[in-house]
Amino acid sequence: MNWNELNKLPTPCYVIDEEKIIANGIILKAVQDNTGAKILLAQKAFSCYDLYPVMEPYLAGTEASGLYEARLGYEYLENKEVHVFSAAYKAEDFEEILKYADHIVFNSPRQVELYGAKAKAAGKSVGLRINPECSTQKHAIYDPCAPGSRLGTTKAQWDEHMTQELINLLDGLHFHTLCEQGLAPLETTFKVVEEKWSKYLPNLKWINMGGGHYITHKDYDVPALENLLNYIRTTYDLQVYMEPGEAFVLNAGYILTTVLDLPVNGDTNICLVDASASCHMPDVIEEPYSPPMVNAGKAGEKTYTYRIGSQTCLAGDVVGDYSFDHKLVEGERLAFADMAYYTMCKNNTFNGMPLPSIYVAHTNGDIELLKSFGYEDFKYRLGK
């Protein structure tokens, strides 16, 4: 990353780090080569399709949350698999989904009953998302196994509604229960899946273990993952799929901002920048968490601590408290790191905030503008 050049870009903007995407891809490709498992990109996390050709050698296909993502994967990654899962399909969308997707995963026995035969007749591979009811995280908003969850079919519902006729329509099972987690929670979850569904596994073609796997994180136990994947393949003769989003683009993006003002409230030194947590990094508020910042520490680690927030009216539009070796000054540039996933694809223009431009830093050092936005991009979704 050529910071001299990056610091000349107008802010706010995202910068996608091509080199890091390739480094992540190499790790994910090796897992596939060593195990026969197939790894799909969950596009909901990152769908900057100009980068799909860069990612192409490292992925088996894409995973979509519905019609539009399925179409994007189909159009921009030719000859790769297109998987789709939706909590509920609409009849109007389903016909078109059949044009793009080759694997279609349903959420409930009723949806299999409604659409399963149609999908099979169109030559599609059909799956059902199960809910193993095995929570391995405390964060309810990201826990599809939380009590009362609408995601996946519980074993009780399976026993009640999955007739032999419906089971015969299935080629695979899907579960997605993790978020930014290591191997141990996956092993725990797979054991529960085995306890509840092992009798059905030998008659299926594939199992999809969803996303939330931190495979490209430095602490992830990749060899142990490969053991698990090989165990599943050899024990049940299943094609295993995984569909991480975050792991493909972990640490592969920045949002660059400029310091606008440095007001003080009591003991709190505040720093206002031209990017917004609420508009440009909404998971910071949803989760909540504070992303790392280049050349900054956590609150109190370095001499000068600031609460960094945005221009908007939302009181909680704060990215976090960070510390620096020097006093910040107006016009200075700050760079939030690890901003490639769940950012660009979740942007909004609340308060009429501009959408940040999107750049890519290529491996040869070139910085390319993919897209810039203006007033029209705020306006066009709101009326005539």
280 near ligand PLP (CB under 6 A): no
Task: Kindly list the distances between the CA atom of residue 11 and the CA atoms of 89, 106, 174, 319, in Å, as whole numbers in the listed order.
Answer: 39, 42, 41, 16
Cβ proximity to ligand PLP, 209 vs 256, nearer residue: 209
* Binding piece for ligand PLP, criterion CB under 6 A, among 41-49, 54-62, 194-202, 301-309: 41-49
DSSP-H helix ranges across the chain: 3-6, 18-35, 52-55, 67-76, 91-100, 109-121, 155-161, 164-168, 183-197, 222-236, 246-249, 277-280, 283-286, 375-379
103 near ligand PLP (CB under 6 A): no
* Binding piece for ligand PLP, criterion CB under 6 A, among 6-14, 40-48, 281-289, 370-378: 40-48
For residue 151, the minimal CB distance to ligand PLP (Å) is 8
Using left for φ > 0, alpha for ψ between -120 and 50, and beta otherwise, residue 79 falls in left
**From 246, 274, 317, 338, residue interacting with ligand PLP (rule: CB under 6 A):** 246
Give the number of C-alpha atoms closer than 13 A to the C-alpha of residue 158, restricted to the C-beta side: 20
For residue 328, the minimal CB distance to ligand PLP (Å) is 33
Q: Which residues pair with 174 in a beta bridge?
A: 129, 208
* Binding piece for ligand PLP, criterion CB under 6 A, among 71-79, 193-201, 210-218, 293-301: 210-218
For residue 100, the minimal CB distance to ligand PLP (Å) is 17
Site for ligand PLP in 60-79 (CB under 6 A): 63
Please measure the distance between the N-terminal and C-terminal CA atoms of the chain and give it in whole angstroms: 42
Output the furthest CA–CA distance in the chain (Å, rounded): 69
Give the separation between CA 238 and CA 256, rounded to whole angstroms: 44
Cβ proximity to ligand PLP, 222 vs 262, nearer residue: 222
Residue nearest to ligand PLP (CB): 211
Binding residues for ligand PLP, total number by CB under 6 A: 15
**From 20, 38, 44, 103, residue interacting with ligand PLP (rule: CB under 6 A):** 44
Say if CB 231 and CB 35 are below 8 A apart: no
Site for ligand PLP in 212-231 (CB under 6 A): 212
For residue 271, the minimal CB distance to ligand PLP (Å) is 30
Give the number of C-alpha atoms closer than 13 A to the C-alpha of residue 47, restricted to the C-beta side: 20
338 near ligand PLP (CB under 6 A): no
For residue 141, the minimal CB distance to ligand PLP (Å) is 12
18 near ligand PLP (CB under 6 A): no
Say if CB 324 and CB 331 are below 8 A apart: no
Say if CB 325 and CB 303 are below 8 A apart: yes
Locus of tokens 């610091």: 7
For residue 144, the minimal CB distance to ligand PLP (Å) is 7
243 near ligand PLP (CB under 6 A): yes
Give the separation between CA 294 and CA 203, rounded to whole angstroms: 51
Residues 6 or more apart in contact with residue 179 via CB below 8 angstroms: 137, 139, 142, 143, 212
For residue 63, the minimal CB distance to ligand PLP (Å) is 6
Q: What is the DSSP string of 354-366?
A: PPPEEEEE-TTS-
DSSP annotation of 354 reads: P
For residue 125, the minimal CB distance to ligand PLP (Å) is 16
For residue 88, the minimal CB distance to ligand PLP (Å) is 14
45 near ligand PLP (CB under 6 A): yes
211 near ligand PLP (CB under 6 A): yes
Q: Which residues pair with 13 in a beta bridge?
A: 256, 357
Paired tokens of 167: 């089971």
179 near ligand PLP (CB under 6 A): yes
* Binding piece for ligand PLP, criterion CB under 6 A, among 2-10, 47-55, 221-229, 240-248: 240-248
**From 109, 127, 245, 253, residue interacting with ligand PLP (rule: CB under 6 A):** 245
Exposure string over 285-302, b if 16+ CB within 10 A, otherwise e: beeeebbbbeebeeeeee
Binding site for ligand PLP (CB under 6 A): 42, 44-45, 63, 85, 176, 179, 210-212, 243-247
